[in-house]
Structure 1
């Protein structure tokens, strides 16, 4: 998450143009990877933990710490920076990112920032995505000659796929109790489980009394047994149920 002092106060569209290139030849190479809050999405964690050959619990314990969003009281996972002088990212070396092809969406977007806001329209509330420049004083990438649009940058960096995977989860993150009441620790724990710790969430589904309580079709159970993306989306359904956003589950009839 960028510092607000580095955010250029202009809203961009997919057609907005800019010049930028990051490569080992620029003097600031990897400087933006230190002393920064990098928020992770459920899809980020699937890719990163699989790249490293770890379970979700192992990955979360070793590489992340949890914080609470002050606006919504939702739990969020962030990369745990090293305790060196630079507060370096644990995945970055002087040569670059060691998990580059599976790096988080926020890293892919840089130097573009992306956000979502809830907008009132004649047809009700809609979620609208927007983009903005992040211009840190030390960054020399803007002095390069390679030209992009926001749209072409997203495709080149593979962040369009990440956004598609993350969209439903991001929409959930915008929701809070209309009374302003914060989530209790039990709700936060369940949301964290269903968002980030998917291997443990899977055990919760199949090894607890979950399926004695909820009526889940056999074909859906088969999918979430085999497919982590299906499991992730099942987690989104569960979070919506917890937050009373949508009645996504039916209780089993006694």
Structure 2
């Protein structure tokens, strides 16, 4: 049984931003790097941008070398997870026994949250839904025995996940929206391809925007065009807003009553 399977058997505790817990991880704990083995790390759009830039790879190269395609549970949306090493422990490719994480400053959001996780509720227009947090005390982890107290709010700020969550918020909202769709409503393959491109292949999305008829079909302010031309984070946010307005707005849906798939009415 790997770590992910073990975690599934542990009852999580629901937390708020001001809930407290005790935890500290460092090289001195006997379980150092054990949490980096046998895990399932979902990569967010911002994770991929940071990692591919850290490794000086294109989006295509990073996706091919370091990721595995999967589907989100309860949706038909594509996601990517970190490809683990084919060793006995199924190790993260960026972890070393003595050094720990060699890309620590650019580590994924899931790694930053540990030992916390974040969950989102069903989407409802106008709702004040920020999801909730959970804390799982894994038996093997000695970090829980360290005398360092945190609130969830303090931990998020210290680990930088508050910034990650802000940048990824548009993407998270799309996933929550899709989870709220009727179960028999599916996106077309073309729609899922667009979701994948915007979410995980920022290089290809940039080509799509600037090397096609995209800017002729959509009325985009000149200052926005200049901003997204040079800033990948702004381009990502722009792309997620575009996806929300084209793929995830019921007013733009055309449903095939026989196949129960959703296509998008093209604008412009």
TM-score by length of structure 2 reads: 0.86
Q: What residue in structure 1 maps to residue 159 of structure 2?
A: 157
Q: What residue in structure 2 maps to residue 169 of structure 1?
A: 171
Stretches of 4+ moved more than 3 A in 1?
Answer: 123-126, 246-252
User: Which has the larger displacement, 153-162 or 213-222?
Assistant: 213-222
Contact 2:177 2:248 (8 Å CA) reproduced: no
For 1:53-132, list aligned pairs within 5 A. Answer: 53-94=56-97, 95-118=99-122, 125-132=127-134
Distance apart, 1:247 and its partner CA:
7.6
- The answer to whether the aligner puts 1:209 opposite 2:213 as a matched pair is yes
TM-score by length of structure 1 reads: 0.90
Distance apart, 1:96 and its partner CA:
0.5
Hey, what's the Cα distance between the residues in 2 that align with 1:64 and 1:240? Answer: 25
For 1:7-26, list aligned pairs within 5 A. Answer: 7-8=11-12, 10-26=13-29
Q: Deviations over 1:95-153 (max 9, x none)?
A: 20011011111100100111111376xx8544232111122221111011111111111
Q: Deviations over 1:15-42 (max 9, x none)?
A: 1111111111111111111111100111
Consecutive unaligned residues in structure 1, runs of 5 or more: none
Q: Over aligned residue pairs, what C-alpha RMSD do you find? A: 2.2
Hey, what's the Cα distance between the residues in 2 that align with 1:61 and 1:246? Answer: 34
Change (3 A) 1:113 1:240: same
Contact 1:214 1:250 (8 Å CA) reproduced: no
Pick from 27, 30, 39: which aligns with 1:27? 30
- The answer to whether the aligner puts 1:190 opposite 2:228 as a matched pair is no
Change (3 A) 1:17 1:85: same
Consecutive unaligned residues in structure 2, runs of 5 or more: 253-264
Matched residue count: 249
Q: What residue in structure 1 maps to residue 255 of structure 2?
A: none
